[in-house]
A and B are shown apart, each in its own frame.
Chain A
Amino acid sequence: MSELPDDVTALIGTPQYPVTATFGVERSYTYNTLAATQNANPLYWDDAVADELTGGMTALPSTLSLWLRPHFWEPGADGEQVALKVHFDLKERFDLPEAVMTDNTLEFHDPVRPGDVISHAQVLRSVSGPKTTKLGSGRFWVIDIEYRNQDGALVGIESYTGFGYKRQGSA
């Protein structure tokens, strides 16, 4: 088994980049995803159904990762703002210019509601030794993200497996 550099090993299990979203949860985000997927679930379109089942409007659960994504640009920002910074740090650390996500687990806890402000932190769980796939040669890694609302209540846990790689034949 290939050993990892010490600086990478030290990051495993350590929460990084704790962030509180700079924008609150808005109903419009749910509408955007409902429209993009032609989803007619009345829980998100009909206030009476939402009041009866969830005590008021909630965000579509699968939009959980939306709350970690920064604006594409904001005043004072330097360059493109990216979500899942640990993923991009690993690409740079191992000099792997390309990357894809191969696995993703979403676990839904308390519903997210309009007006909530969501905080999250990223935790690197593992990094593989060198691997070669049809995309190229690189490494797999697993990153967890824990999301909490302004009251500290857990609203979801997300786990990503990424593969950073160099395309075959690239320098």
Chain B
Amino acid sequence: MPVPNSTGLLFATVSEGDVLPELTVEVTRTTVVLGALASRDWRPMHHDYKFATERNGVADIFLNTPNQAAWIERFLTDWTGPTGRIRRMTFRMRDSVFPGDRMVMAGTVTSTGTDATGCAWAEVEVTMTATTPEGTDKVATTCTARVALPTDENDNPWARSGEQWTPGE
């Protein structure tokens, strides 16, 4: 597993159209249950096969939303390194990710900019695809994420607070 560079990605090196390194995960029951419990999500559709299939009418237990957020956060910060600071993430859950699926996260920089406070950011469109054991591909989740990046070696987005940190914009 690659260890992110502790110096981090600089804004000047990022352009619209840049493609992030893909992240592939073979999803198991442990992946689903570990993620649900780590996020304190005790709902049975994330650990109880009978509940998921008979009550929810889905094929199996499935990844919960906060765990998907955590996977996408990892995908983004593997790219940026620790100086990258996520401002906002918007998810749309289109289909479920089940044990046995191969989950692939892919991302493209769709825009870059600097806000009124001088904070530089890149917006990334992330697609989480799940391939079933039968080979069927499905888009499970899409995410639009805006990530603050340092403008140079002396800039640190994490040092921003109050009026200097406006993640809603």
Contact = CB atoms under 8 A, between A and B. Distances in A.
Interface stretch (A2-10, A37-45, A120-128): A37-45
B73 interface: yes
Interface in B55-98: 55-57, 65-67, 69-74, 77-78, 82-83, 85-93
Contacts of B57: 98, 135, 167
A58 to B, nearest CB: 8
30 contacts: A32-B38, A35-B34, A36-B35, A37-B71, A37-B73, A39-B78, A40-B1, A40-B4, A40-B78, A41-B82, A42-B4, A42-B82, A46-B6, A49-B82, A62-B73, A65-B66, A66-B66, A69-B39, A101-B65, A102-B92, A102-B93, A103-B91, A104-B93, A105-B88, A107-B88, A108-B88, A109-B165, A109-B167, A110-B165, A167-B57
A89 to B, nearest CB: 16
A106 interface: yes
Contact of B158 (A32, A53, A66, A101): A53
Contacts of B37: 32, 36
A150 interface: no
Contacts of A42: 3-4, 6, 82
A12 interface: no
A119 to B, nearest CB: 16
Interface residues of B, number: 46
B91 A105 contact: yes
A90 to B, nearest CB: 16
Given A54-B158, A103-B92, A37 B168 contact: no
